[in-house]
């Protein structure tokens, strides 16, 4: 194969799922990002390993031919950026090659959306990630968990377990996001966005 016949080199990607560590938080809405990462890992032979200095559990995998680092922060949600920054700096992954999955109050339960750049929308994990990276120019997978309807009820809402029906909707939406991941990994971000938004 000549050089001209080779596929263009694609930089490694970092995929991070946000959540709170510990069994008391494991089944809460705020851990939807962890749920996504766990589903992703379960489809591979990888095992997340603790890297204390990076404030995360990490694994290296090849997904659809692309080298990826997976990370599950061991910090609490409000300090997620510490892990994202540490892992990305250590493996020399630029912000535009980072995908952060997290729970989104402003999307109905059962809905997922991809976006690039933008504000934090009041999400403390994204707020801290933007602060630590020094930029908002990274990809986000927003996993809808719905809104309780009252601002004062937001904290207990995100830190509580969804109903069985709501959890099913969240997990089904995560499945649809995983179905769109190959397009994203191939660099066809707009196609992945289109497919995900069409599927719900």
Of 30, 55, 123, 139, which one is the catalytic site residue? 30
66 and 196 in contact (C-beta within 8 Å)?
no
Give the alpha-carbon dihedral of 30, 33, 34, 36, to 10 degrees: 130
Of 55, 96, 94, 92, nearest to 72 by C-alpha is 55
Joined tokens for residue 111 = 């809905």
Give the single-character DSSP code of 48: -
Residues near 165 by Cβ (< 8 Å), separated by ≥ 6? Answer: none
Q: Is 147 a catalytic residue?
A: no
Would you please indicate which residues are annotated as catalytic (active-site) residues?
30
């Amino acid at each position: 194969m000549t050089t001209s016949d080779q596929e263009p080199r694609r930089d490694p990607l970092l995929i991070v799922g946000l959540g709170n560590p510990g069994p008391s938080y494991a089944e809460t809405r705020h851990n939807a990002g962890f749920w996504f990462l766990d589903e992703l890992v379960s489809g591979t032979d990888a095992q997340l390993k603790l890297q204390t200095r990076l404030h995360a559990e990490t694994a290296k995998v090849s997904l659809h031919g692309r080298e990826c680092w997976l990370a599950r922060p061991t910090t609490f949600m409000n300090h997620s950026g510490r892990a994202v920054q540490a892992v990305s700096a250590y493996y020399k992954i630029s912000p535009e090659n980072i995908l952060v999955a997290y729970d989104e109050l402003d999307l109905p339960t059962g809905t997922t959306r991809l976006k690039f750049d933008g504000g934090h929308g009041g999400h403390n994990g994204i707020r801290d990630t933007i602060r630590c990276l020094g930029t908002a120019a990274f990809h986000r997978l927003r996993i809808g968990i719905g809104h309780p309807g009252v601002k004062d009820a937001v904290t207990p809402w995100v830190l509580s377990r969804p109903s069985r029906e709501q959890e099913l909707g969240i997990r089904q939406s995560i499945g649809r996001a995983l179905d769109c991941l190959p397009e994203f990994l191939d660099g066809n971000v707009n196609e992945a966005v289109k497919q995900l938004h069409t599927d719900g």
